[in-house]
Each structure stands twice: as structure tokens, then as C-alpha cells.
Chain A
Amino acid sequence: MRKILTVLAALASLSLTNCGYNAIQSEDEQIKANWSEVVNQYQRRADLVPNLVNSVKGFAQQEKDVLLGVTNARAKVGSIQATPEVLNDPAAFQKFQAAQGELSSALSRLLVVTENYPQLKSDALFKDLMSQLEGTENRITVARNRYIKSVQDYNVTIRSFPSNLTAMVFGYKEKPNFSVANEKEISTAPKVDFNTAPAK
């Protein structure tokens, strides 16, 4: 009987020595995976933009400044390296986020302009590009939400006892998250509404 108790006590003490190191590892890895998904979907949007610009150009050449705005924003997004190292550098993360936000607003301006060209809106190619853009925006939203969740889990882990000690020893810091300030601007997909007048 005593032997069994000894065995059980040993097991109990084993289960208590959970320093959270493995939790930090797996959550860190999850963040990386979710981040690549975010980048992946943003890339998909960036790839769509030139086609979209070209398709609009064919019908609305006089909207030069809007088209130029989208092209410039697209170029800026392309110039930022979104490696996982960005995640450990809040400044770089901010920059990435700002550039993507700029492209988002440039795109919504473009969509507002397209409202004035009925021929463009009934163009089959433009329609297809629009559904691709909508789908991509939705994927971005999903990917961002999953990233936000995984960063939350990770940040809670490295701030709560006892795993915060482990984090301190191994130098794990909190990861930056998408800020709420331009959350709305980024996460609302540009809507194509065929019934209302342009809101400008």
C-alpha cells in the first residue's frame, strides 16, 4: 500500500512541474503558422490588384488619381518584407499594418469610383475580379482573427505564473497584435452595392 502511495505521489509531483515551456513553444509555432496565413492572403490580394486596375482602366481612364493611388499603395505593400521576424519587432509590424491599411482604403476608393460606370459593373471580367477580391478580403479577415486569437493565447501564457518565469529565462516577449484603431478600416471588406448612389 505504501509503495502505491509513493508511486502516486511521484506521479503527482511530476504533473505539477509544468513550467509552460512546451506551451510557449507550441503557441509560438501556432502564431507563426497563423501569421504566414495572414501574409499569404494579403499576398493574394496584392496579386489581384494589377488585374483589377487594368480592368477598371479599360472603362474609366479619367479616374487617373484613384488608379494611381491603388497602384502606389500596392507597390508600397510589395516593398515590405513580411517575414516572421516582423512579429518580434513592433515597429516593423506597425509599418506592415499601415501599408496594408493604405491599400485597403485605396481599394475602397476605387470601388466607390466604379459605381459611376455601369458598363464596367456589367463587365464579366470585372465581376469575376470583384468576387475574387471579396473572397480574398474575407480570407484576410479570417486569417487575421485567427492570428489575433493565437497571439492572445501566447501573451496570456507568457504573462501568467509560472510560465512567465520560463518566458523570462528564455527571453520570450509579448508579440504585437493588430491594433483596434484601424481594425474597422481593415477588416470591413469593400462592398459592392449596386443599388445605392456613390457615397462621396
Chain B
Amino acid sequence: MTLNVWRVVFVAALVLALAFPAFADVAIPQLTGRVVDQTGTLSSSDIASLSQKLRDFETRKGSQIAVLIVPTTQPETIEQFSIRVAEAWKIGRKKIDDGAILVVAKNDRHLRIEVGYGLEGALTDVTSRRIIDEIITPKFRSGDFAGGIADGVERMIRVIDGEPLPVPSPTVNFGSLDDLAPLFIVTLFVSVGIGGAFRAALGRLLGSIATGGIIAALSWFILGSVGLALALGGLGFIIGFIADLFSAITPGTGRSRGGSWSSGSSSGGWSSGSSSSSDSGSFSGGGGSFGGGGASGSW
């Protein structure tokens, strides 16, 4: 019995070993915070103070900086690995692209400052190289990783501070909101306009369902995201339903479009859609893009 169990375990291990060949690229770490340390190099207090510093910097300047420490990037070079990380994490604000990532591959003894498009004027290749060569690596050589990273980040912050950037907006960046805004308007129009016709033909409940379905289909066409489409469809259903009730209880309006229009535009759906909850605890990239700017070094 136990022998059988062991055999199963052994076979499973073998299958796993075959499924993940040794030459696979290092997986991109989860963006769990502003400082991601996969090597246990930094103490929790180091990470806390560094994250706090970066958070304050972001609220003050709007620009995002992240720090990543991995054991190795083999078989990729650090440049290949860190551009993949940058593309996945999307540090920095969308369209401003003011993000930077400090990547340290501890066992390879390589590090890199990856600079987003918007910061290439401030954190030039030469400046990044100097921060690496003159500030970070001397401390790394003496084994002071926490100090090297803290000083390097400090200098990056000071360099970026000299760059005029758009002021940070108080609201949290919800990337696809720009794409959603017109759809809310479409939702309103469709649910109020077409919804009326549907309700006349099918009755209140079925008519509202059909309205919601049409909106969902439309949003799915435009956005290509099922979740968002369902959400908007639900919104359309509710608006259709409420608009109908509204015109039903409003004396004298009957199915007047004015009545349902004003109830539809009472901006309830609008504001609830746009006020996405800002979770200050977690951290996510704002959608900034990178093009390989920055510099690498070793110690």
C-alpha cells in the first residue's frame, strides 16, 4: 500500500520534472507590492520603510517605482527578463509612462534600472548607469544590499523629482475607465430608447431582459470582455426596469420619453460605475509602458 503511494509520488515527480524543462525562462513574479523580494535579502522592516518611501513619492509626484530582487534570471539576460517584468507589471501612469523598476538578480550579480518611456529624459542611460556604478554596486560589493537599494532608490527619486511631470490625480487609476465612459452613455440611450419599444412589445420584465441582453451583446462587441459586458447588460436591465417603473408611477407621463430619460440620467449608474474603490493597501501598475531604456551593471 505505502509502496504504491511512493510509486505514485515518484511517477508524479518524474512527470513534473519532464513537464518543466530546465531551460524554461524564469516566471514573472507576482506584483505583491512596491518591493518584491524573492531572495529574503531584505528584512521586513527594510521592505516596509522602502515601500513607504515609494508610496509617499507616488502620492507626491505620481510616478511609480518598483523594486524586484530575484535569485537569477538565467537563461535570459537581465535585460530580457526585466523588459518582460516591465511589460507585465505596467509600472507608471498610463500615457505618461513614468515608471521605473530596479531589478536585482542576486546570484547572477547583475542589476538593472528599467526606465519607462516618460522618464527616459530624466533617468537617461548615462544617469542610470551612474546610479548603478557609483551608488548601488559599491554597497553591494561590501554585502550591504539593503543600503545599496535604499540609496539607489533615493537617488532615482531625486532625479525624477527634477523632471516636470503631470500632477498626480487624487483618484486611483482605473485603466479601462476611459473606454467605459462612452459605453455608459450608450447603455443609457439604448436602455431608455430601445427599452421603451421592447417593453411595449414584451412587457416590463421580458423587455428589460431583452434590453440588457442587447446592451451586453453590444458591449461584448466593443470591449471584447465578457465580465464587463455582463455588468453593463445588468445595468441596462436595471435602468430599463426602473425607467419603466418610474414612468408607471409618474402620473400623467405614461410612457413619455422625458420621464424615463430624466430618471435614466439621474447619474446613479454613472457615479457608481466610475467610483471604483481605491484600495490603498495593495499596489498595481498604472499602465505605463517601457521600451528598454535604462542601464545594467554588475558587482
Contacts and interface: CB of A to CB of B under 8 A. Distances in A.
Interface stretch (B53-61, B177-185, B263-271, B290-298): B290-298
A16 interface: no
A141 interface: yes
B126 A128 contact: yes
B182 to A, nearest CB: 18
Nearest to A132: B125
A8 B295 CA distance: 55
A96 to B, nearest CB: 20
A4 B206 contact: yes
A15 interface: yes
B291 A37 contact: yes
Contacts of B125: 131-132, 134-136
A3 to B, nearest CB: 6
Contacts of B296: 134
Interface in A116-143: 127-128, 131-132, 134-136, 138-139, 141-143
A21 to B, nearest CB: 14
Interface stretch (B91-99, B153-161, B210-218, B278-286): B210-218
Among B129, B206, B213, B221: residue with most chain A CB under 10 A: B129
Interface in B24-83: 79, 83
A4 B202 contact: yes
Interface string B159-178: 00000000000000000000
Contact of A7 (B79, B210, B295): B210
B19 interface: no
Contacts of B124: 132
A15 B221 contact: yes
Nearest to B217: A11
B201 interface: yes
Interface in A32-80: 37, 41
Contact of A142 (B83, B129, B206, B221): B83
B201 A3 contact: yes
Nearest to A37: B291
A15 to B, nearest CB: 7
A7 B214 CA distance: 9
Nearest to B83: A142
Contact of A135 (B210, B214, B290, B295): B295
Contacts of B217: 11, 14-15
Contacts of A142: 83, 290-292
Contacts of A139: 291-293
Contact of B202 (A3, A37, A131, A135): A3
A112 to B, nearest CB: 20
A143 B202 contact: no
Nearest to B114: A138
A7 B128 CA distance: 59
18 contacts: A3-B210, A4-B206, A4-B209, A7-B213, A8-B213, A11-B214, A11-B217, A15-B221, A128-B126, A131-B125, A132-B125, A132-B126, A134-B295, A135-B125, A135-B128, A135-B293, A139-B292, A143-B291
Interface of A: 3-4, 7-8, 11, 14-15, 37, 41, 127-128, 131-132, 134-136, 138-139, 141-143, 189
Given A128-B129, A143-B291, 7 more contacts: A3-B202, A127-B129, A128-B126, A131-B295, A132-B124, A135-B128, A143-B292
